[in-house]
Amino acid sequence: MIMMDSIPWSTIMVVTSWYSSNIGVLLMNKYLLTNYGFKFPVFLTMCHMMCCSIFSFIGIQVMDIVPFQSIQSREQLVKICVLSLVFCFSVVCGNVSLNYIPVSFNQAIGATTPFFTAVCAYFVTRKREAWLTYATLLPVVAGVIIASESEPSFNLFGFIICVSSTFSRAFKSVLQDLLLSSEGEKLNSMNLLLYMAPMAMLVLLPATLLMEKNVIQITIDVARNDIRIIGFLLFSSSLAYFVNLTNFLVTKHTSALTLQVLGNAKGAVAVVVSILIFKNPISMIGMCGYAFTVLGVILYTEAKKRYS
């Protein structure tokens, strides 16, 4: 049994910060997009990418959190651009889904990421897992089906968009391993964000102007009546960066496997917190379905550890 005294305080602080930023950005985005009524998810994502670009530059070039890694070739730049597009699509879809479904259901769907990762890995790289590893994915999918069937706030469009976000997030992780696999091309997550965030912002700027016309003027008009909107956008955008920063630090202080295990628990905590704050209705069957999914993810993590 691991005693709390044996865990360094720095690790405890990093994990706490990771939980806080992950859950915080979800709740903040949900509040902005639904409760507050700021229904501009693409613009919100662009603000996130802008903040990630600025903070990444400061963190790496000024504060020297991690050593700067330069792009080595045009081919590597193209690969990062592809990853940036997939990353951008994933974040936008995730934010759009919060317009239609509660955070608890969003997290239940997000827990199926290992399933989509395994599927993508098989079709893209032909990588096969042990049969027991694939078997553990059955309760992951079954749990989401149960949760969907009994979700009081179910919305088909929100469900499809959230699944799209989850799939593209899994697809990005597989592409990242495939495209940046050679030693000369590998970038740590913070340097990768330094390059991806500005690229995503350049994609999101015209998308925002086309899909959410006059959003900048609308934001200015809202700010004249309620200056809090500026603080909300800055806070949400800052949290988006700290999600990536603390994700990197947790892996550095523990391991990638520990990050997966903590991520499973984080999803459950986010569900409970969102229900307490937003008081969205949820059935007992839905909770059982989500618990079933989390159990499947835990079994999947154990199977990957044993058979990889």
Please list, in sequence order, all residues whose beta carbon lies within 8 angstroms of the beta carbon of residue 65, skipping any fewer than 6 positions away: 59, 190, 245
The number of CA neighbours under 13 Å toward the Cβ of 30 is 25
Range of the domain at 169: 4-307
d(CA 247, CA 238): 14
Please list, in sequence order, all residues whose beta carbon lies within 8 angstroms of the beta carbon of residue 28, skipping any fewer than 6 positions away: 232, 235, 236, 239
Residue 131 corresponds to which amino acid? W
Query: pTM, whole model, 2 decimals?
Result: 0.87
Please list, in sequence order, all residues whose beta carbon lies within 8 angstroms of the beta carbon of residue 131, skipping any fewer than 6 positions away: none
User: Is residue 162 helix, strand or coil?
Assistant: helix
Q: What is the pLDDT of residues 242-287, one digit of tens each?
A: 998 988 888 777 766 566 667 767 777 887 888 888 888 878 888 8
d(CA 167, CA 89): 10
Low-confidence ranges of the chain (pLDDT < 50): 1-4
pLDDT of residue 302: 79
Cβ pair 155, 140 in contact under 8 A: no
User: Encoding tokens for residue 2?
Assistant: 């691991």
Number of domains in the chain: 1
Q: What angle do CA 122, 125, 129 make, to 5 degrees?
A: 40
State the virtual CA torsion across 241, 247, 249, 250 in degrees, nearest 10. Answer: 150
Q: What is the pLDDT of residues 213-243, one digit of tens each?
A: 899 999 999 999 999 999 999 999 999 999 9
pLDDT of residue 191: 92
| CB count in 10 Å sphere of residue 265 | 12
For helices 156-179 and 113-125, give the axis angle rounded to 10 degrees: 50
d(CA 245, CA 240): 9
pLDDT of residue 4: 45
73-100 exposure pattern, b = at least 16 Cβ within 10 A, e = fewer: eeebeebbeebbbbbbbbbbbbbbbbbb
